[in-house]
Each structure stands twice: as C-alpha cells, then as structure tokens.
Amino acid sequence: MKFKDPQSVCCPACNCLSEQALDQLVAGRAKCPACGRVLAEASERMRHARDGWTDFVIAMHLSLEVERQNNLRLDQTALGTVHCLQDLIIATEPLLTALPEPDRRRAAVEAVRNAFGAAFPQVECPAPSGKLADALRPHLHRISWLSD
C-alpha cells in the first residue's frame, strides 16, 4: 500500500489532530489521544481508499493482459471505473468487433478469464461481480508487486 504512515487524523468529536499508525487505522483501533474516541470514520476512509487503490492496480494489470492477449485497446476512461471482472467484461465486449455481436459477450467473458489466469495463476478466478480487492485480499501477500 502506498499510503503515508502515520496519517494525520482530526477527531470529529474534539477536533484534536493526531498522528495515527496506518495499521492501527486500517484495523479500526486508532483512538483520539485527547478524548479517547475510536476514529472509526478515518478507519473506514482508509479501508475504502486502500480497496479502491487495490481495485485500480488489479484492474490496470488485468486490462493490460486483456489488451496483450487479444491485441486490442481498452478505453482508458472506462478502466478508471473497473472494480470487478464484470466491469472489465463490459469494457471488453464492444471491442471484439471481429466477432458477430451475439458472440461477443461470451468471448469477452473468456478473454477476461484468460487474462485473470495469466495475471494471477495462483488465484482461482472470482465471480464476475465480486470486488477485485475482496477476491484477491487473501492472496495479496503472495503477489509481490501488490503487497507492501
């Protein structure tokens, strides 16, 4: 994860600004040193940012693999919103113009599955609608370019 550690957090109850260790924040254990309040909102924001970042990195990696295997160029704007394999399938489908339209969805599913298999050979392909960050979290420590 590429986040500043520690993070400066402002307590919503007493406005005390404190430095909080990133792992404590992500674990939901960070407390305001002035009033003792658990800084739950900051923890939630941190987890959200971390998952968003993980989604983004995984989506970028997968999209490059889809492009390489299928010799096509995905729309970069669409890629910014990819959070699950289904999003990537939807981005890939209209580009498979060599195929008749009814065959494109199935081919896009196949292309995304193949890309996932090549990118993460050690991970079983998740359900298309599963969040990428969730599907890969148990494996992140084994994927050197994704772990911290």
> For binding to Zn ion (CB under 5 A), which residues are involved?
11, 13-14, 16, 32, 34-35, 37
Which C-beta is closer to Zn ion: that of 17 or that of 127?
17
Instruction: Supply 26's token pair.
Output: 């992500």
Which C-beta is closer to Zn ion: that of 9 or that of 112?
9
CA atoms within 13 A on the CB side of 130: 11
C-beta of 10: minimal distance to Zn ion in Å?
9
Which C-beta is closer to Zn ion: that of 37 or that of 45?
37
C-beta of 122: minimal distance to Zn ion in Å?
43
CA atoms within 13 A on the CB side of 115: 26
| Pair 1, 7: CB distance under 8 Å | no
What is the spatial distance between Cα 28 and Cα 103, in angstroms, rounded to a whole number?
47
C-beta of 11: minimal distance to Zn ion in Å?
3
